Amino acid sequence: MRITDSVQDRPSGVRHRVLWLAVIVYMITYMDRICIGHAALEIRREFGFDMVVMAWIIGAFNWSYALFQIPGGWLGDRFGPRRVLTAIVLWWSAFTAATALAWGKWSMAFFRFFFGLGEAGAFPTATRALSHWLPASERGFAQGITHSGARLGAAITPPIVVFFITTLGWRSVFYIFGLIGVVWAIYWHWFYRDQPEQHMGVNSAELAIIREKRDSSAPVSAERVHVPWGKILSSGNLWTLCAMYFCYAYSIWIYLIWFPTYLQEDRGFSLKQMGFWHMVPLIAATIGDSVGGWFSDHLARRTGNLRFARRSVAIVGFTVGAICIIPATLTDDRYVCVAFTTAALFFLELTVGVSWAVAMDVGPEYAGSVSGTMNMCGNLGGVVASIAVGYMVKHYNWDAPFLVAGALCVLGALLYLRIDPNQRILGEAAVSPKIVTV
């Protein structure tokens, strides 16, 4: 028996709890992946790694993370988010902890590679997990708030890592962060169900809301589904989306993983100062994620024009972000650098919820596979950022990688002019969210 079968009862709020669980796992992904950036100088001092060696160790994560996006998304579509997310969170949590056991560059690169393999399925599978619980009119907000969770995880990581490094040593960070993931995975498997109809906490009133708002094209079957890879991979709209996300991923990855080293080596901040001043731009990024997704949904409801709502927010975000990166890079004042970087990350992150919402718009039935393809291509930009920065800094200076990020933001804005959220993978037109009067 469900909690109640009366449609007159107040709707249960299970879908909101599902959303918040997704927010938390996004937080965990970023805590686990960027903590190595804050521990990088300590690791280099202990093992004697130079910038190039450290770049390849960091890049080991990006290679596996990028290359296993499509398999990760496919697994979520094929076997369901409940089982797949449980398994992959346990997997990457184990390799997060294993990073502390490394005895040299090859072992550390090995552990980071297999850590990335597990995290590769996180965002596509979480997107798939939300696709049956949330309507089109809430996708931008949902993707914005979940990616805000990722940035919040990144924002709180610097002071946490600094505290544990100074009190327990850099290895303690990886053990503790790995344990957090294990706890989440156990709770997720107990609470989540692949379909709202399967969850005993969902009453009939909430089911009515979900059914009324969910796209008519979204399947309700919990059975394994066939993924039409031919149609997915032949979509020019999707490949434009992928190219745009490459530009985004290169840019954000520099600020997530290399900015701590930059603040210490080039801007002269101490370890404790870095922990604070890296957190400030990431808090702005957290706000930008939520604002971008929410405002895109707001525009869609008010105008009835999904194409305009998605494009306008993303183009403004990329353009203003590029403008702010230039003075942040070229100024001699380290505090002015942080101020403009804060603005740059706010506007850059306006694009994130929109981009993942577009992946759901164009392929709601196969959101895991579509978003996995986008995230794979995007994170090839992360591969470039991870490795190329080491060489650019060694042979040029710290300005070069950031100026490249500014140029790619301009390209991302131009690519968004060709992205159409109404053009679905399977050919039918997407339905713009209806205007809701309260």
pLDDT at 296: 86
Q: What is the mean pLDDT of the chain?
A: 83
pLDDT at 148: 75
What does the pLDDT average to over 170-177? 93
Distance CA 378, CA 245 (A): 4
pLDDT at 5 over 70: no
pLDDT at 210 over 70: no
pLDDT at 4 over 50: no
Query: Residue 304 is which amino acid?
Result: G
pLDDT at 24: 92
Q: Which residue has the higher pLDDT, 285 or 412?
A: 412
Q: Which residue has the higher pLDDT, 196 or 281?
A: 281
The Cβ-side half-sphere exposure at 15, using a 13 Å CA radius, reads 25
Torsion of CA 244, 248, 253, 258, to 10 degrees: 120
Distance CA 192, CA 190 (A): 6
What are phi and psi for residue 208, nearest 5 degrees?
A: -65, -40
The confidence band for 429, taking pLDDT boundaries of 50, 70 and 90, is very low
pLDDT at 241 over 50: yes
pLDDT at 3: 47
pLDDT at 411 over 80: yes
For residues 217 and 106, is the Cβ–Cβ distance under 8 A?
no
Distances in whole angstroms, Cα of residue 185 to Cα of each of 84, 93, 134, 438: 10, 9, 22, 38
- Report the DSSP beta bridge partners of residue 429: 423
The pair of three-digit structure tokens given for residue 339, joined into one six-digit string: 């101020």
DSSP label of 421: T
The pair of three-digit structure tokens given for residue 315, joined into one six-digit string: 């183009």
Q: Which residue has the higher pLDDT, 369 or 138?
A: 369
Residue located via tokens 């449609």: 7
What does the pLDDT average to over 287-309? 85
The dotted CATH code for 14-204+231-416 is: 1.20.1250.20
**pLDDT (tens digit, 9 = 90+) per residue, 211-231?**
655 444 444 444 555 667 788
pLDDT at 338 over 60: yes
The mean-pLDDT minimum among 70-79, 138-147, 168-177, 208-217 falls in: 208-217
Q: Which residue has the higher pLDDT, 215 or 115?
A: 115
Distances in whole angstroms, Cα of residue 80 to Cα of each of 83, 166, 303, 361: 6, 41, 35, 20
Q: Which residue has the higher pLDDT, 17 or 324?
A: 324
pLDDT at 58: 85
pLDDT at 83 over 50: yes
Q: Which residues contact 331 (CB under 8 A, 6 or more apart)?
A: 337, 340
pLDDT at 206: 64
The mean-pLDDT minimum among 215-219, 253-257, 263-267, 330-334 falls in: 215-219
The pair of three-digit structure tokens given for residue 47, joined into one six-digit string: 């093992």
pLDDT at 293: 77
**pLDDT (tens digit, 9 = 90+) per residue, 353-391?**
888 788 878 876 676 678 778 888 888 888 888 888 888
Domain coordinates in residue numbering, the chain: 14-204+231-416
Q: Which residue has the higher pLDDT, 412 or 217?
A: 412
The confidence band for 410, taking pLDDT boundaries of 50, 70 and 90, is very high
Distances in whole angstroms, Cα of residue 136 to Cα of each of 195, 240, 368: 17, 21, 16
What does the pLDDT average to over 258-268? 87
Would the pTM count as exceeding 0.75? no
pLDDT at 184: 95
- Report the DSSP beta bridge partners of residue 423: 429
Torsion of CA 404, 405, 407, 410, to 10 degrees: 170
Sign of CA dihedral 370, 380, 108, 28: negative
Distance CA 376, CA 397 (A): 29
pLDDT at 365: 67
Q: Which residues contact 379 (CB under 8 A, 6 or more apart)?
A: 62, 65, 66, 69, 249
pLDDT at 95: 95
Q: Beta-carbon neighbour count of residue 395 at 10 Å?
A: 9
pLDDT at 430 over 50: no
Distance CA 95, CA 256 (A): 20
pLDDT at 132 over 80: no
The pair of three-digit structure tokens given for residue 331, joined into one six-digit string: 């100024």
The mean-pLDDT minimum among 44-58, 73-87, 120-134, 324-338 falls in: 120-134
